A = this chain, B = another copy of it.
Amino acid sequence: MTDPPVEGALVDLDGTVFRGDPLIEGADDAVATLRAAGVSVLFLSNKATRRRAAFAEKLRRLGIDVDDDGIVNSALIAASYLETHHPDDPVFVVGEPPLRDELRAHGLTLTDDPEEAAVVLASMDRQFDYGTLTKALHAVDEETVFLATNPDRTCPTEGGEIPDCAGVVGAIEGVTGTDLDRYLGKPAQTAVDAALSGLDLPASRCLMVGDRLETDVRMANRAGMTSVLVLTGVTDRETLARSSIQPDYVLESIADIGQVLRGE
């Protein structure tokens, strides 16, 4: 057993539990293994383009029992952050409908009028175009808070990588000459705070299991969690060898999570 004992696990989704549609073999048993060892599991994703309920439904379909509250994504992290820090500020969103829904569910006010915007929130947007960029240009000024849901460059799909949030951020930074104030998803502390408040545990008692060095592993290492890299997603051993970000554990797959619990 690890020391201190693990009581919580934050588990990334895409590339860790499933890849595109299908389950990564043994991921269902791995979650069962964690739970059988008394470890609370929370799924933590940077993806704001999907509703948490849709994630939960997909996991259940793949044989992993979870309710909506067992999912924390960057839409929820952004909504929680804005609820705390900018509860009354009109938010101009570049993003998809599930993000807007999550923000509205937290009582936030959205605006499509650049002049009204006090916060600009950038996110992955598959409808992103010149018209949106023009509005964002006019929404960002010296008074505006400029945030992003997540720092990911690309999002893996079965048809190849597609542009994620960093494209929107880069375009807005380019035309405004204004740097992003902060992003909110992994590896930011805001993501740690959102996830640990869900588990009600200190970071030192938690694992973070994920496939990305620059988000999952970096966040865990900074926060003082035990970092577990799985090789079923975007990172291979060659990338790992060249990186300055190194995990506490490397597993071929989350299916081997028992090794971590046994401290092997």
Contacts and interface: CB of A to CB of B under 8 A. Distances in A.
Interface of A: 125-130, 133-134, 137-138, 153-154, 160-164, 166-177
A130 B126 contact: yes
Copies in the complex: 2
Given A126-B130, A129-B128, A129-B130, A162 B174 contact: no
A133 B166 CA distance: 11
A173 B175 contact: no
B176 A153 contact: yes
A163 B174 CA distance: 9
Given A138-B160, A163-B174, 19 more contacts: A126-B130, A128-B129, A130-B163, A134-B162, A137-B154, A137-B163, A137-B167, A153-B175, A153-B177, A164-B175, A166-B177, A167-B174, A167-B175, A168-B171, A168-B174, A170-B171, A170-B174, A170-B175, A173-B174
Contact of A130 (B125, B137, B138, B173): B125
22 contacts: A125-B130, A126-B130, A128-B130, A128-B133, A129-B129, A130-B163, A134-B162, A134-B163, A137-B161, A137-B162, A137-B163, A138-B161, A154-B175, A163-B171, A166-B174, A166-B177, A167-B172, A170-B170, A170-B173, A170-B174, A170-B175, A171-B174
A22 to B, nearest CB: 23
Task: Tell me the dominant secondary structure on chain A's binding face.
Answer: helix
Contacts of A176: 153
Nearest to A176: B153
Contact of A169 (B134, B172, B174): B174
Nearest to A173: B170
A149 B172 CA distance: 19
A133 B153 CA distance: 12
Contacts of A161: 137-138
